[in-house]
Amino acid sequence: MARTVALLVAAGSGSRAGGDTPKQYRAIAGRPLLAHALDHLVHPRIDAVQVVIGAGQEAAYRAAIGERPLPSPVIGGATRQQSVRNGLSALGGATRVLIHDAARPFLPAAVIDRLLDALDGKDGAVPTLPQVDSLATRAGAPVPREDFVRVQTPQAFRFDAIAAAHAAWSGGDATDDAQVARAAGYDVAMVEGDPALDKLTYEADFLRAEAALLTTRVGFGFDVHALGPGRELWLGGVRIPHDRGLVGHSDADVVLHALTDAILGALAAGDIGDHFPPSDARWRGADSGLFLDHARELVARADGRIAHVDVTIICEAPRIGPYRDAMRERIAGLLRLDMARISIKATTTERLGFAGRGEGIAAQAVATLLIGDRR
């Protein structure tokens, strides 16, 4: 009975993309690279996954894998090749192994199928793509690109073949496992790779990968409260001196209410009344900043982020202009965004309707979110 194990090498300690976090633990669309890589190894023909991590990365590893049921990680060595060797030595009972790098997390299931199909007649199989750019030597001499392919991972092998090849290897640090297998005389096939498997190395690679994972969503919110005597006027989380205030169960801040509803709308998560029922005494006189903070938290839990919010306040008085930046600053703080992503506008209704008669204040809001694509 064939037992196929994926050996996921995630032992690197550095990051050419910048920052102190090794790139396998860097978050893309709310989840570490390692978590994306693990989720893409869930495949009916893979029986188990073994991760190789760097020394001292145990805590980051546990945080990254969450509840995924995995065996204890193997600690890697000073080089990738040593890390692979350490991993192979932990794979008791494997008959086939897919050796993969966490820096190529977005593995299509079809590539796994092509690799394992190829193993039926070969000792190993690697995914490759044609070289599309022109090639030249550093001296400028042209090189026929038809002679070259780009080699990706995972690389699939009969377990006994690759284990023997690594044991026999004496050629220094190999660039990949196919090189080690071929040096030992094993037959390694090439199958079609996939651009989705391109290695994430530089900052731009991470930004591109995240953009591909995120979906744009827009939500809309609207709220009205009546103006009445004996109340403080709160708009956009800012207290504004006025002869009357907005009447409501909470502080009746129409701006924060409309904004909260816009974010909930983008999440398709109901409305503010579902989350904070007016019948609940806890929200009597509440600072509406609580509601907006809750909406922000829901976005974070959905692996998303808020790209931009835009509010229009509709009232005859007070004048909004003098308080606009204070509102933007308060909302930026609540949403943990730069002020440049917060827009506050105001208009009158030319004395028409309830707003024009000064009976109440309305607010409309739009929120643009980027939401991760949860598998």
Cβ burial of 153 (10 Å; 0-12, 13-18, 19+) is buried
Q: How many residues bind Mg ion (CB under 5 A)?
A: 2
Output 200 or 367, the one with its CB closest to Mg ion. Answer: 367
User: Minimal distance in Å, beta carbon 248 to Mg ion?
Assistant: 6
User: Minimal distance in Å, beta carbon 366 to Mg ion?
Assistant: 17
Which residues 48-67 are close enough to bind Mg ion by CB under 5 A?
A: none
Q: For residue 193, give the nearest of 128, 277, 268, 250 by alpha carbon.
A: 128
Output 223 or 303, the one with its CB closest to Mg ion. Answer: 223
| Interface map 185-224 toward Mg ion (x if CB under 5 A) | --------------------------------------x-
User: Minimal distance in Å, beta carbon 276 to Mg ion?
Assistant: 10
Which residues 232-271 are close enough to bind Mg ion by CB under 5 A?
A: 257
User: Minimal distance in Å, beta carbon 254 to Mg ion?
Assistant: 6
| Rounded Cα distance, 106 and 194, in Å | 10
Output 74 or 246, the one with its CB closest to Mg ion. Answer: 246
Output 257 or 305, the one with its CB closest to Mg ion. Answer: 257
User: Minimal distance in Å, beta carbon 218 to Mg ion?
Assistant: 21
Retrieve residue 30's tokens.
């709310």
Neighbouring residues of 366: CB distance < 8 A, sequence distance ≥ 6: 218, 219, 220, 221, 262, 309, 310, 311
23 interacts with Mg ion by CB under 5 A: no
| Rounded Cα distance, 304 and 176, in Å | 36
Q: Which residue is nearest to Mg ion (CB)?
A: 257
Q: What is the DSSP string of 62-107?
A: HHHHTT---PPPEE--SSHHHHHHHHHTT-TT-SEEEEEETTS---
| Rounded Cα distance, 101 and 92, in Å | 20
Tell me the CA end-to-end span of the chain in Å, nearest whole number.
30
User: Minimal distance in Å, beta carbon 9 to Mg ion?
Assistant: 53
Residues that bind Mg ion (CB under 5 A): 223, 257
